[in-house]
Amino acid sequence: MGVDLLTGTRAYRRRLDLTRPVARQDLLECLEIATHAPSGTNRQPWRFVVVQDPELKQRIGEYYRKGFAAYLAARTPRPDQLADLASGQYLADHMHEVPALVLVCSLGRPPVEPSALRLASFYGSIYPAVWNFLLALRDRGLGSTMTTAHLVYEREVAELLGIPEDVTQVALLPVAHLLPGNDAPARKRTPAAELTGWDGWIADGGAAP
Ligand SMILES: Cc1cc2nc3c(=O)[nH]c(=O)nc-3n(C[C@H](O)[C@H](O)[C@H](O)COP(=O)(O)O)c2cc1C
């Protein structure tokens, strides 16, 4: 794995090939790589549900669309976020057509009395596995986007798929082969030097994103 895999893996939406099926073996290999992520005391809390059934995808796609609309309605985007949101809307409109929807779940529920430590332990033990999975996909010419908008309807999706009440969904990952295209030129990020303090907090608080 090279640095370009780490710096070039993007949120893929319009480049998802909606017509080409994704092999179960490819998904399983990438999920295997996901399981090598770190987790607190090596709990390995991840569970995965792969959805390929058209009717189930249709139902989940509807929940996602409604969740994304609620997310959009609740915010006033900055001008530099408009392109991302348009691409987000594209994905919302096509979620049900993506060949495989991978739902990443974590055993347990988020802490009822949250503290910085408990929250870090809960969510920090699952998102590294999500990122491992996304990197493994891209390494094989597949792609996805981390999405969470369906979580407004977490319970409804849990009932649809038989996910127990004490399990938490953390991400819905639409997986497809990547259409040919400009392969993820490194997107502008604030340089680390502007975000890093040495022996103390950054002098000006760090540049706003
Ligand atoms: C916690 C989290 C939740 C996200 N939820 C959504 C989502 O619901 N829908 C979506 O289209 N993108 C979602 N994204 C993707 C971000 O928009 C994307 O990672 C960001 O814009 C950077 O994109 P880039 O890597 O292509 O530059 C989410 C990302 C993260 C980390």
Q: Is 72 in the pocket of ligand 1 (CB under 6 A)?
A: no
Residue 54 lies inside a defined structural domain of this protein: yes
pLDDT computed for residue 2 by the predictor: 65
Mean pLDDT in order along the chain per 10 residues (209 residues): 81 97 98 98 98 98 98 91 92 98 98 96 98 97 98 98 98 97 71 92 74
Q: Is 206 domain-assigned?
A: no
Sign, Cα dihedral of 150, 156, 159, 160: negative
Q: What residue ranges in the chain does DSSP mark as E strands?
A: 46-51, 100-107, 142-143, 167-177
Alpha helices in 108-176 (DSSP H): 116-124, 127-139, 154-161
> Rounded CA gap, 76 and 149, in Å?
16
Domain range spanning residue 118? 3-194
Best mutation site among 16, 65, 148, 173 for ligand 1, i.e. most ligand atoms within 8 A of its Cβ? 148
Cα(147) to ligand 1 centroid in Å equals 6
**Is residue 95 within 6 Å of ligand 1 at its C-beta?**
no
200 part of a folded domain: no
Residue 209: per-residue pLDDT:
57
Any domain includes 207: no
Q: Are strands 167-177 and 100-107 parallel, antiparallel or unpaired?
A: antiparallel
The pTM is what? 0.95
Residue 136 is assigned to a structural domain of this protein: yes
* pLDDT at residue 203, as a whole number: 80
Name the closest-CA residue to atom 30, ligand 1.
146
Residue of 146, 152, 175 with the most ligand 1 atoms within 8 Å of its CB, for mutation:
146
Q: How many domains does the chain have?
A: 1
Non-local (6+) Cβ contacts of 51 within 8 A are: 57, 60, 100, 101, 102, 103, 161
Question: Does 33 map to a domain?
Answer: yes
Residue 163, domain CATH: 3.40.109.10
CB of 149 within 6 A of ligand 1: the answer is yes
Q: Is residue 60 part of a domain?
A: yes
Neighbour tally for 184: CB within 10 Å: 18
Ligand 1 atom with least separation from CA of 67:
8
Q: Is 91 in the pocket of ligand 1 (CB under 6 A)?
A: yes
pLDDT value of residue 205: 73
Q: Is residue 15 part of a domain?
A: yes
Q: Are 67 and 152 in contact (CB under 8 A)?
A: yes
Rounded to whole angstroms, the Cα distance separating 67 from 52 reads 20
pLDDT at 164: 98
